Amino acid sequence: MQPSKFMSVFRKLFGVLLAALLLGGALKVGGDLGNDPAIEGSLKPEKVHREAAEEIVERLELHYRRLKFDDALSAQVLEQYLQDLDPNRLYFTQQDVDDFQPYRDQLDNQLRDGVLEAGYSIFNRFQSRLEDRLTEILAILEGGFQDWDFDGDGKVLVDRSEADWAEDQDALDAIWRGQLRNAVLSMRLNGTSDEEISKRLINRYESQLSRVRQNTPEDVFQTYMNALAQTFDPHTNYFTPHNSENFDISMSRSLEGIGAVLQYEDGYTKVVRLVPGGPAAKQGQLSPADRVVAVAQGDEDMVNVIGMRLDEVVDKIRGPKGSKVRLEVIPAGRASEHDTRTIAITRNKVVLEEQAAKKEVIEVDHGGDTLKLGIIEIPAFYMDFNAFHRGDPDYTSTTRDVAELLVELRKENVDGLVVDLRNNGGGSLLEVNKLVSLFINRGPTVQVREAGGRVSVENDQYPGMLYSGPLAVLVNRYSASASEIFAGAMQDYGRALIVGDQTYGKGTVQTLLDLNHGKLKMTNAKFYRVSGSSNQNMGIVPDVTMPSLVDKESIGESSLPNALPWDEIDPAKYQRYQDLVPLLPGLRERHDARIGDNPEFVYVNQLRDLLNRANERQELSLNAKQRKAWQEDFDQRRLDIENALRKHRGEEPIEKMEDLRALEEQRALDPDSNDEPLDEDPYLRETGHILADMVSLLREQRVADERAS
């Protein structure tokens, strides 16, 4: 018998024997704290974990969703846990998954009783599969790949999250051969030498293997409890005592870092959002939905962080002010995990002043008339709570700053105002309510529905409006939470036109609960607009939509698993200032005519279409000629789109994709080169045109109404 066939038969027989020995007692359920079922593997829970599990279950029964701990929930938790452990279905086989099926209707009972046998047995099986697989991969890579054949018709799936589980280890071996071949081919096509490919892949898998072998019972507990929490909604999370101080692991607080909010997803550290005024936002190259695969201090070698705990990755990214950190990231939307780029960021503190509201006045030529447009940019809804609670009359706040800016703009006799909330991820609820009060004359600002159904209404207590003129609110997909409350209120009152892209859709409220072991962040309420419509999931739909490069399939609340749905409640009592809805068809028609041949927006639309076509690929060819031909065609289309815009701007064309990548790297090293004057921002200028159209249409409407009367 050939060695490969012998190993195949041996592995199958050993797998059956191992399952019979280990699962004979492992899949029994029930028992109390002193008599847990047998756990497969070496990692086992401690008493404190069992007690914490019971407490977490008690707290989750008060979650906004009020899900019952029954067999249906048990099945969802099992699916979520398997998804969290093996999102791309590269380690478990169908036989493994079949072995776990007796748990499908038992996890609710186990968790309620503080029994963690299922979570630990499944994790131990996963760890064993992962260690074996990584060891095999390293052996293959050590043997070299220079003689691999890339002439066949093989293919690999881009996304394996919905693929069938491999039938057995032989089938999984075949999948992994494709994965490794794809990694080598992807890196070769990017111009990486075989020597460097070998070095990088071996380093990646050695680091991952080393990290896996350091897993502790605490790691298992955190992973299992988060599978349970995430079944309720994506913003409900469990934090161990080690990282419970990091609410959402935000590096924008008192710690020095890069100013990014991160989360763990499918083995990767994913960028959720950038903190306004932070080093990463200023540098301009890191984006939400990018995945960090390696971190380096200064000019040192990269350390692979795939599979590493989030708090460990955050510790590596944080560092003293003035020091440099390099991140190897998979940019958002890239099909291959080996298509990476390196970003260098100098660490610094994010100070409140960097997030402060700013103003500027620009002039827009509209049909021969010059429009004087006031711009107020609000990066975040901030408030110095410490100074506020001390009674300091000069405490820093968004509303106080914006009020001062409005007074200054009024003296400059602006014809209209744009409140720029692009990339504003939210902040203080108190501040957004007060900000709404500057633009309405008393009335409700937002409704909050608690888990039990009670609805409370936040109101503007201040009479009068500080600004009553023409108003537009500019938003994008990264405008979230408090930004959506403000934009929704302005839209409901008919007080402003909302312009830009559909917003993030974060319309839930969380509270941080202390546990006997760690903390639980749990969703306990939902925001609703004064019209009764929820901000959740749908976000704010603009009155006039702008082209955007953001892929809404991968960014936003609607892209998150188990996100709470959009719904409605009864409207609050409020009075609209004007009905802008009848004007929208005319505004959109004029807008579309203007941007149809505007090179800035043509560039965005064409590049988005190109990226969409790339992202829609379900398979990647492992044939080097076919893959190279596709890449060359993509690169040429990318260059054509780029050069059309450069021609419009009076810049020299770029001849090769390598030159474009070099230019992007240069921009990464020189963040200040990314800054452009506000009066050259095409989105602000077009918003000015839309605002001028609104004023014109309102004037025509008033004249028509007067004639009719």
φ, ψ for residue 289, nearest 5 deg: 80, -5
Distance CA 233, CA 350 (A): 30
Distance CA 57, CA 586 (A): 54
Structure tokens at 259: 């100013």
- Residue 554 annotated as catalytic: no
**For residue 191, what pLDDT band results from cuts at 50, 70 and 90?**
confident
**Residue with token string 């589980």:** 165
Q: How far is CA 239 from CA 36, 314, 368, 479, 529, in A?
A: 24, 14, 59, 26, 31
- Residue 415 annotated as catalytic: no
Residue 559 has pLDDT above 50, yes or no: yes
Distance CA 337, CA 521 (A): 31
The active-site residue out of 506, 526, 534, 543 is 506
Instruction: Provide the CB-side half-sphere exposure for 553 (13 A, CA).
Output: 7
Distance CA 431, CA 486 (A): 10
Distance CA 105, CA 146 (A): 49
Mean pLDDT is lowest, of 100-114, 128-142, 236-250, 553-567, for 236-250
- Residue 481 annotated as catalytic: yes
Domains of the chain: 11-231 (no CATH), 236-346 (2.30.42.10), 352-580 (3.90.226.10)
φ, ψ for residue 522, nearest 5 deg: -130, 140
Check residue 271 and give its pLDDT: 86
Distance CA 136, CA 180 (A): 12
Residue 518 and residue 562 in contact, taking contact as beta carbons nearer than 8 Å: no
No. of helices (H) and no. of strands (E), the chain = 20, 19
pLDDT digits (tens, 9 = 90+) for 299-323: 888 888 887 877 788 888 888 888 8
Residue 263 and residue 270 in contact, taking contact as beta carbons nearer than 8 Å: yes
Residue 507 and residue 536 in contact, taking contact as beta carbons nearer than 8 Å: yes
Structure tokens at 335: 């099909």
**For residue 672, what pLDDT band results from cuts at 50, 70 and 90?**
low
pLDDT digits (tens, 9 = 90+) for 220-262: 999 999 999 999 999 999 999 876 655 434 433 334 578 887 8
Residue 609 has pLDDT above 80, yes or no: yes
Residue 30 has pLDDT above 70, yes or no: no
Residue 40 and residue 125 in contact, taking contact as beta carbons nearer than 8 Å: yes
Residue 198 and residue 144 in contact, taking contact as beta carbons nearer than 8 Å: yes
Distance CA 524, CA 510 (A): 6
Distance CA 57, CA 51 (A): 10
- DSSP per position, 179-220: HHHHHHHHHHHTT--HHHHHHHHHHHHHHHHHHHTT--HHHH
Residue 350 has pLDDT above 80, yes or no: no
The active-site residue out of 121, 481, 483, 621 is 481
**For residue 354, what pLDDT band results from cuts at 50, 70 and 90?**
low
pLDDT exceeding 70 applies to what percent of the chain?
89
Check residue 274 and give its pLDDT: 80
Residue 422 DSSP code: T
φ, ψ for residue 252, nearest 5 deg: -100, 0
Mean pLDDT is lowest, of 335-344, 406-415, 613-622, 629-638, for 335-344
pLDDT digits (tens, 9 = 90+) for 1-17: 444 444 444 344 444 33
Pairing of β 237-239 and β 519-528: antiparallel
Distance CA 119, CA 107 (A): 9
Q: How far is CA 370 from CA 298, 363, 590, 593, 700, in A?
A: 50, 6, 18, 20, 19
Check residue 250 and give its pLDDT: 40
Q: How far is CA 85 from the centre of its chain?
A: 19
**For residue 18, what pLDDT band results from cuts at 50, 70 and 90?**
very low
Nearest alpha-carbon partner for 223 in 302, 120, 134, 125? 120
The active-site residue out of 415, 492, 543, 693 is 492
Q: How far is CA 673 from CA 202, 284, 676, 682, in A?
A: 36, 10, 8, 18
pLDDT digits (tens, 9 = 90+) for 50-98: 999 999 999 999 999 999 999 999 999 999 999 999 999 999 999 999 9
Residues 6 or more apart in contact with residue 143 via CB below 8 angstroms: none
Residue 479 and residue 502 in contact, taking contact as beta carbons nearer than 8 Å: no
